[in-house]
Amino acid sequence: MIKKLKIPSFKSRFILIATLFLPLVLFFVFATFFYPPFFIFLSVGLFIIIVYLIPLQNRLVLRKAEVDLLSQDFLERINMTVLETQKEQAAISSFREKIVNFSELKGLTERLGICLSLEETSKVLSSEVNKLFGGPETVIILYVLEGRTGDLGIIASYKEKLEFNIKQKKGDIFDRWVVKTLQPLLIEDVKIDYRFDADKILEEDTRAIRSLISVPLLVGHRPIGVLRVDSSQVNTFTTEDLRFLNAIGDIGAIAMENAQLYERIEQLAIRDGLTNLYLRRYLNERLPEEVSRHLRSKSEMSFLMIDLDFFKEYNDKYGHMAGDIVLKMVSIVLMECFDQPGNLVFRYGGEEFGVLLSDCTKKKALELAEDFRKRIENQSILLRRQKTNVTVSVGVASFPKDAQEKEELIYKADRALYQAKRSGRNRVCIA
């Protein structure tokens, strides 16, 4: 606690002056009117008083200097206290902001944790960033880096809490800079930023962009995307905004990587590793849905059961590696022949394949099956410097003409396949 300085008041100074000079006035009157020789004593007294006042004045000057020093020290302590108080208030405010940010990051982590697909994860991530940074002039963009081409592709974008269409689908000069450098980017005004050519920006972007923050989404040192927030106004974002977006990006990158891994595991669970066709278990999942849909729409669908002719003999003659080559070739032709929306191609087991033709009549299915059979028959395969070929037998059944249930549909197609086998193979038979 600072002690209060005691400064002599005006009243105490007046009493000191009266005490010293009032006797002198009385002595002067006495010597003038009653006893003139008393002036000698008066002179001596004045001399003594002067001698006394000189050191007193020095002491007063010293005392005043001490008071001034104490006053300055007091003012300095006040200023230091005010500065410390301001620092503490700023620290408290920053701490509160960090608590809010950590709370938001915790909520974001929990929401991303329940997302399984990349599409769902991307929507949640961009939507949450929009809640934190969104405004009338702000656009949130989430890019994903395509592994095969290395190009960026927009997976989600928001403006004013709504999904927003961006014409520049593969990113612009700023996004390419982030991917190339793997560094966060803060631009307060794109027109005066020395790192980018303003004329080139105008050529690439049709939107008015004046400021932005952007961070790379990294898994280790590998980029998987870019998270960006831009605005048509200058000086919209600060360094703290960039730090916070970078923290969000770290969480989002992990969530997106997990979603991609989950989708790959799902694909491995329903796709054949050799041919990349769907497995039989996926047919068992999808067929009831397709049956219900066609019952509601009162439309027709067809199913093809396909088997390679004499495949075991072919395997024994050329080896299992050659057999794998044939299976891959057949799967490629299958995908080319039946690459239409709604169609599903399966590896049913071994050398057997299945094709589910959505909204397809029995007559049309027969024509498609015959075209496929001819393509396989005319397809040459070079093995051990020898040209060879294979043939297939196909059974066709339709729903609801030939079957009323999913198991019956597969059974009827399978029976038609065996009929083709018994009839000499390399042909198509209908149920």
- Compute the average pLDDT of residues 22-51: 73
Asked if residue 236 belongs to a domain, the reply is: yes
pTM here is 0.54
Q: 282 and 253 in one domain? A: no
Domain boundary among 223, 243, 269: 269
Q: Does residue 120 contact residue 259 with C-beta atoms inside 8 Å?
A: yes
Asked if residue 48 belongs to a domain, the reply is: no
Asked if residue 111 belongs to a domain, the reply is: no
| Total tally of structural domains belonging to the chain | 2
Q: How many residues does the chain have?
A: 431
pLDDT, tens digit (0-9, with 9 covering 90-100), for 289-347: 888 888 888 889 999 999 999 888 877 787 878 888 889 999 999 999 998 888 999 99
- The candidate with the shortest Cα–Cα distance to 129, out of 140, 114, 117, is 140
Q: 313 and 246 in one domain? A: no
CATH of the domain at 327: 3.30.70.270
Q: 362 and 311 in one domain? A: yes
Asked if residue 15 belongs to a domain, the reply is: no
- Give the pLDDT confidence score for residue 106 in this predicted structure: 77
- Give the pLDDT confidence score for residue 229 in this predicted structure: 92
Q: 384 and 286 in one domain? A: yes
- Give the pLDDT confidence score for residue 100 in this predicted structure: 58
Residue 267 CA to residue 260 CA, distance in Å, equals 11
Q: 292 and 257 in one domain? A: no
Question: What kind and span of H or E run contains 248?
Answer: helix 239-270
pLDDT band at 97 (very low <50, low <70, confident <90, very high): low
Strand partners, 347: 279, 353
Q: 257 and 285 in one domain? A: no
Q: 298 and 255 in one domain? A: no
pLDDT, tens digit (0-9, with 9 covering 90-100), for 342-391: 899 999 888 999 999 988 999 999 999 999 999 999 988 877 677 888 89
**Residue span of the structural domain in which 183 resides:** 118-269
pLDDT, tens digit (0-9, with 9 covering 90-100), for 255-284: 999 888 887 777 777 788 888 898 888 888
- Give the pLDDT confidence score for residue 9 in this predicted structure: 52
Residue 308 CA to residue 255 CA, distance in Å, equals 44
- Give the pLDDT confidence score for residue 5 in this predicted structure: 45
CATH of the domain at 153: 3.30.450.40
Q: 180 and 139 in one domain? A: yes
Domain boundary among 215, 243, 269: 269
pLDDT, tens digit (0-9, with 9 covering 90-100), for 216-247: 999 888 899 999 999 989 988 988 889 888 98
Q: 263 and 124 in one domain? A: yes
- Compute the average pLDDT of residues 30-34: 73
Asked if residue 147 belongs to a domain, the reply is: yes
Q: Is the pLDDT assigned to residue 154 strictly greater than 80? A: yes
CA R_g for the chain: 46
How many Cβ atoms sit within 10 Å of the Cβ of residue 394? 27
More confidently predicted of 140 and 384: 140
Q: Is the pLDDT assigned to residue 13 strictly greater than 60? A: no
Domain boundary among 245, 269, 293: 269
Q: 309 and 250 in one domain? A: no
How many Cβ atoms sit within 10 Å of the Cβ of residue 418? 14
pLDDT band at 3 (very low <50, low <70, confident <90, very high): very low
